[in-house]
Amino acid sequence: MRNPSLAGLTALALTGGSLLSFANPAQAAEATILYVRQASTACSDTGAGTLAQPYCSIAPAVARVTAGQTVDVGQGTYAERVTIPSSGTPDQPVTILNSAGSNATVSGPNAGVVVAGKHDIVLQNLHVTKAVDAPALDLRDASGITVQGGTYAMATTGSTPAVRLGGVTRSAMKQVNVRGNGLAGGLTLDAATTGVEVRSASVASITSASTADNGAGIQVDGPDNSILNSTVAGFAAAGIALGPTAADTRVVNNQLAGGGGFGILNHGATSTAITNNTIQSHCLDGIRVDGASTGVSVQNNVLSGNGQNDAPICDPSDAPTVEIGLYDDAGPQTVVDYNNTSHGFMPSGTIYSWNGTRMGLAAFRSASGQAAHDKEGTTIKDREDSANSAAPGYQTTDRTGAARADNPAVPNTGAGPVTYADRGTTEALGNPVATFAPTLDLGASSVTLDASASTPGYVPITSYVFDFGDGTVVTQGTPVASHTYAATGTYQVSVTVSGSDDRAATSAQNVSVLRRTGTIGLLSLYNLRYAASSVAGQGVVADQLALGAAGQLDLADAGNGQVALFSRATHRYLGNGGSILPLRTDVTANEKFDLVRNSDGTVSLRVGDTYVGNPGTAALTVNATTIGTREKFYRVNVADADRSLKAGANGKYVTAENAGANPLIANRTTVGPWERFDLVDLGNGQLGVFAHANNRFVCADNGGVNPLIANRLSAGAWEKFTLVRNTDGTVSLKATVNSRYVTADSGGAKPLIANRTAIGPWEKFTLGG
């Protein structure tokens, strides 16, 4: 492996890049990296720390590391508390990193990383788990510390926070993940900590009750610190709490959701900028400013569902509180404006508190002289293009790093230099939304993608890019495109839509283009109804008297002797979700069936060790381990459904006379329901004749002695026929029970009967559609 040069490694540590992204000469980097590889059989804690002979533990490596060097920790679980003994310089920091592609963890009750009295150190993508006795990350009297990425997690409820900063200056924590069950605190910055930026952190206390933890997600007690673009969840005291000595703190673009306490608590801190945060579902106030707080700005925030103590995590003895509350002497000294609030099902007159009195927006304006531009409502429409870009702490980008965007359809009612900035953490960017529906045609091995349902952003969609997954990409200005595949298979297809502002969106899904072997319907033996579904996602129910469009299924080769069933009505493959549903456009294990031919001519569908059954009026289910009547279906080829028979004897159509009560006879000049039949595939070249007149099978009654009559609920020996195709285009029916041909006896004057040994004019019929 090529290793980075010293300058390249320093850049790597500061930017979070990959070791593999550099290609400088190997000889220049050998001395700058100390390797730790617990899994290596050649590792030694007294060795040189090279790749050939790495350290087995982290401690010997960090004991040796100096400015400009890196400790590269590879795969393994290290039960250590790692203390960094050396400092770096701003240009040549000491770097401790988790090796590229490694899941190395420092784990155990005493696990953690400690920096005490040192400076210019980079901790990159380290993972500390199951700490109990002390913080997973403990920074004390340190400066120039960069913590980039990584996880710092506590195992159980305790008295220590997961990450503790004491006397830390000139430092940054970026994209760190702080976790624990019932944490006493997530990330704490003491009164001597200043000049620290916490950016894009994720802090969560995983607990089901507010009493299980007693700290804040992020506790700030020192001055001139920034909490930006982070997410906080849980915690009984507050999501973010600022103490009296936390002056000039910026709390901006943070997402806070859920917790037994406050969202943001400013308890006596001065000159705090609480700007563009989104705060939801806290038991107590969403934002509370109290004590001797002065110069606090609460602007551009979006708050909803806070201050309602009836949630399971809340203490029901707490009095209901509010979205924004100003208390004590802080009220007259605080600026509240350009916020959006919604109090859920609670009365709108309880959204604000002025020194303990709950009130609505109008009353709050009157009592405080504040909130002139606050709004009730937190939808995009309510908060779009209406923030104050001159508010303290305002950022030119939202929590995700997206720049502010102007919706031309919305009036700009904000203040400051950017009048179209949005309130809350997320800027509405006017991105289009790509949506498409694939329509498969297995017979043609083709797919049509229809992206007409895609929605534009701030400008109309002008370009559709269709990627069909086999190397074929089509770019056009219209939303529908088709493609024929040269080979069967499963392909990922996608559509990308964009407008003149170059904002784009992509949607993708898989489609399986399989070889079609037939198009069939499934006629349930249990109730003699066809299985059908006309809406994707709704269950397949055997409730149709005839084989219509909703019941037509393409039978496809799914490989390894299995089949797939593609619903032509819903353009989805049938799949097993406990019941049979047309859900997917591609074929996974749940869409593959074994097609079992039973001895009575029916078929059964097996998924693994269970069979598809018909419960009656509900969707077909997959829960039977044996085959019974409910698990049996007749296979009907679509081409053989809804046919008529015209007798050659007299040119009249065969009818199941009197709705099937009388024997079949050829005496009708037109085709109605009584003259329609389905030819049911019973295997081995045999078929059943299923009459639409009464949904019964035609029988060569009494072993063929009596005339044909449609009165049987299943196809047994007397109900089986062979279809003979004659050279003149006509067909003849041969009864299996006696090997005799069906005749329109007496030139069609008498009922049909299977009693002829040869085919003549009276034994010929024309199949009609």
**What tens digit of pLDDT does each residue of 393-406 get?**
999 999 999 999 99
Structure tokens at 356: 């303990």
Check residue 209 and give its pLDDT: 40
Q: In the predicted model, is pLDDT for residue 10 greater than 80?
A: no
Local confidence band at 575 (pLDDT 50, 70, 90 cut-offs): very high
Question: Residue 355 burial (CB < 10 Å; 0-12/13-18/19+)?
Answer: middle
Overall average pLDDT of the 222-228 stretch: 98
Instruction: Give the Cα separation of 527 and 374 in Å (integer).
Output: 64
Q: In the predicted model, is pLDDT for residue 4 greater than 60?
A: no
pTM over 0.85: no
Contact (CB, 8 A) for 230 and 203: yes
Instruction: Give the Cα separation of 278 and 179 in Å (integer).
Output: 21
432 compared with 5, residue with greater pLDDT: 432
SS3 82: strand
Instruction: Give the Cα separation of 42 and 280 in Å (integer).
Output: 53
**What tens digit of pLDDT does each residue of 718-769 get?**
999 999 999 999 999 999 999 999 999 999 999 999 999 999 999 999 999 8
* Residue whose tokens read 């007259």: 332
A 10 A CB-CB count for 17 gives 17
Contact (CB, 8 A) for 606 and 489: no
Instruction: Give the Cα separation of 563 and 589 in Å (integer).
Output: 11
Instruction: Give the Cα separation of 630 and 384 in Å (integer).
Output: 57
DSSP state of 380: H
Check residue 207 and give its pLDDT: 59
Check residue 156 and give its pLDDT: 75
Those residues with Cβ within 8 angstroms of residue 700's Cβ, 6 or more apart along the chain or in another chain: 706, 708, 718, 719, 721, 735, 737, 738, 742, 754
Those residues with Cβ within 8 angstroms of residue 238's Cβ, 6 or more apart along the chain or in another chain: 216, 217, 259, 261, 262, 263, 264, 265
Strand residue runs (E) in 451-514: 461-467, 473-476, 480-484, 489-499, 504-513
Contact (CB, 8 A) for 173 and 162: no
Per mean pLDDT, which range of 101-105, 659-663, 676-680 is the poorest?
Answer: 101-105
A 10 A CB-CB count for 473 gives 13
* Residue whose tokens read 């090529």: 2
Contact (CB, 8 A) for 607 and 593: yes
Instruction: Give the Cα separation of 117 and 168 in Å (integer).
Output: 9
User: In the chain, pLDDT over 90 holds for what percent of residues?
Assistant: 85
Check residue 310 and give its pLDDT: 64
Check residue 211 and give its pLDDT: 39
Overall average pLDDT of the 54-78 stretch: 96
Overall average pLDDT of the 75-102 stretch: 95
| Helices marked H in 54-105 | 58-64
User: In the chain, pLDDT over 70 holds for what percent of residues?
Assistant: 93
Instruction: Give the Cα separation of 531 and 552 in Å (integer).
Output: 9
Check residue 157 and give its pLDDT: 67
Helix (H) or strand (E) holding 382, with range, is helix 380-383
Q: In the predicted model, is pLDDT for residue 1 greater than 60?
A: no
Rounded alpha-carbon distances, angstroms, from residue 162 to 120, 157, 558, 654:
22, 10, 52, 85
Overall average pLDDT of the 650-677 stretch: 97
SS3 503: coil
Check residue 309 and give its pLDDT: 67
Q: In the predicted model, is pLDDT for residue 630 greater than 80?
A: yes
Q: In the predicted model, is pLDDT for residue 7 greater than 70?
A: no
Check residue 501 and give its pLDDT: 87
Check residue 350 and give its pLDDT: 86
List the domains of the chain with CATH numbers.
Answer: 1-155 (no CATH), 437-513 (2.60.40.10), 515-638 (2.80.10.50), 642-768 (2.80.10.50)
Those residues with Cβ within 8 angstroms of residue 746's Cβ, 6 or more apart along the chain or in another chain: none
Instruction: Give the Cα separation of 246 and 195 in Å (integer).
Output: 11
Check residue 13 and give its pLDDT: 36
Check residue 311 and give its pLDDT: 66
Check residue 100 and give its pLDDT: 87
Contact (CB, 8 A) for 185 and 132: no
Structure tokens at 40: 């290596």
Q: In the predicted model, is pLDDT for residue 27 greater than 60?
A: no
Check residue 75 and give its pLDDT: 92
Q: In whole angstroms, how large is the CA radius of gyration of the chain?
A: 38
Instruction: Give the Cα separation of 78 and 70 in Å (integer).
Output: 18
Instruction: Give the Cα separation of 153 and 159 in Å (integer).
Output: 14
Cα 473 to chain center, whole Å? 26
Question: Mean pLDDT across the chain, nearest whole number?
Answer: 92
